[in-house]
Amino acid sequence: MARPIVAIVGRPNVGKSTVFNRIIGDKLAIVEDKPGVTRDRLYGRGEWLDTEFSVIDTGGIEIEGEDQIMKSVRMQAELAIEEADVIVFMVDAKAGITPADSEVAEMLFRAKKPVIIAVNKVDNLKRMDDIYEFYSLGFGDVVGISGSHGTGIGDLLDEVIKHFPDTSEEEYGEDVIKVALIGRPNVGKSSLVNAILGEERVIVSNVAGTTRDAIDTPFEKDGQKYVIIDTAGMRKRGKVYESTEKYSVMRAMKAIERADVVLVVIDGEEGIIEQDKHVAGYAHEAGKAAIFVVNKWDIVEKDDKTMHQFTQKIRDHFLFMTYAPVVYLSAKTKQRLHKLFPVVTNVAEQHAARVATHVLNDVVSDAVAINPPPTDKGKRLRINYATQVAVKPPTIIFFVNDPELMHFSYQRYLENKIRGAFGFEGTPLRMFTRRKSDDE
């Protein structure tokens, strides 16, 4: 189920990024620190009163140049209006209402989306009186906060979660595999959607997603039900968002959150560029099953080594996603298209796979026997037991004598052994270390 999306908007220098960091806390640190993971802090995950949500820091997507500042602020507001379920409109208590604030307010007011005004820099009780003028912007909810001191953030989040949409109902049954296509502009995402749907005989009519305004297309193939979360529904204002690389990453967020399997589409003719990493990195951090789909393979000049060499390039560029299989095809000619959906089905199954605790521990014990953990200042890691606590993605907790003794390199060794035993192809594997208490 997709998490609600909260966007933080406002003119420059009101403290958006500071508040963003306060809201997400150490959520980004939960994701394993693998080489190559893009660390753009444009999006993150927050949690308040047992409710999880995604947060967009639109301040990270400002356009360069003094004359572009207001244009940038307008684009950020537009992005928030389109993508978010709830908008946090940040203003500055010290500055009062500025013309830029009024312009953003006008845009947000027309959007008919829940807006909470966060008056930042309320650093002491005297400043609390400064928040009242912001009621004149006409939104009702006004909360005084201090991003630098952390005060008022809880009150702000109380207001935010009141406005979340009801996502308690699952849109589709457990047997339906939800597939999203992501990738930078012009890699052929829409052509691939059309190619997939064009060869299907059993297509249910398009339905609007119940929690989002993207268009979903359910279809059935070889007895398996799928839904394509159609990014075409998100391309209606594409030129605005794709004018900067970071905007197109934001455009993919909604589709990724709702998907089981994410197809990362790469242009086989043009090759891999940095933006591909940004797009793929979010799928990885969201814990989704992933497949690299190299499109336009029909126009690539090739010999018997070309495919192997391109796969190696993918592995070198996406060190954090070595688990993701690679499929080569042409949406235009439908060459090799038939190879895609068996892989989709397989990685969806691996993403939802669960391993019995005793079987997992047999593999971990064997791995430790073959290669014992190294000592650190005379102390050695002791793994008491491991257990899988979640699926989508598979999540494993190791109970140990001292979590600080679990080095990244040894955890990677254990991951390789677990993947060798159980597959988990196409899915990230989350691994955490906890101290075993005496009563366990």
**Known binding-site residue numbers for GTP:** 10-17, 57-61, 120-123, 183-190, 230-234, 295-298
d(CA 378, CA 397): 24
266 DSSP β-pair partners: 294
- What residues form DSSP beta bridges with 293? 265, 327
Burial of residue 167 (CB within 10 Å: 0-12, 13-18, 19+) is middle
Whole-number Å distance between alpha carbons of 109 and 225: 40
Cβ atoms of 261 and 229 within 8 Å: the answer is no
DSSP 312: H
CB 171 within 8 A of CB 214: no
Integer distance in angstroms from the first to the last C-alpha of the chain? 33
- Across 301-404, where does the E strand assignment appear? 326-328, 375-376, 379-380, 383-390, 395-400
Which alpha helices (H) appear in 187-326, and where do they start and end?
189-198, 238-241, 245-258, 274-285, 306-317
Contact 259, 180 (CB under 8 A): yes
* Contact status, residue 424 vs residue 431, Cβ threshold 8 Å: no
Output the DSSP codes for 371-431: SPPPEETTEE--EEEEEEEETTTTEEEEEES-GGG--HHHHHHHHHHHHHHH--TTS--EE
How far apart, in whole angstroms, are the C-alpha atoms of residue 197 and residue 190? 11
Peptide linkage before 393 cis (omega within 30 of 0)? yes
- Amino acid in position 297: W
Q: Which residues are annotated as a binding site?
A: 10-17, 57-61, 120-123, 183-190, 230-234, 295-298
User: In 44-134, which residue ranges form alpha helices assigned H by DSSP?
Assistant: 69-83, 99-111
CB 161 within 8 A of CB 85: no
Contact 399, 435 (CB under 8 A): yes
| Cα–Cα dist 255/3, whole Å | 11
In the chain, how many H helices and how many E strands? 13, 18
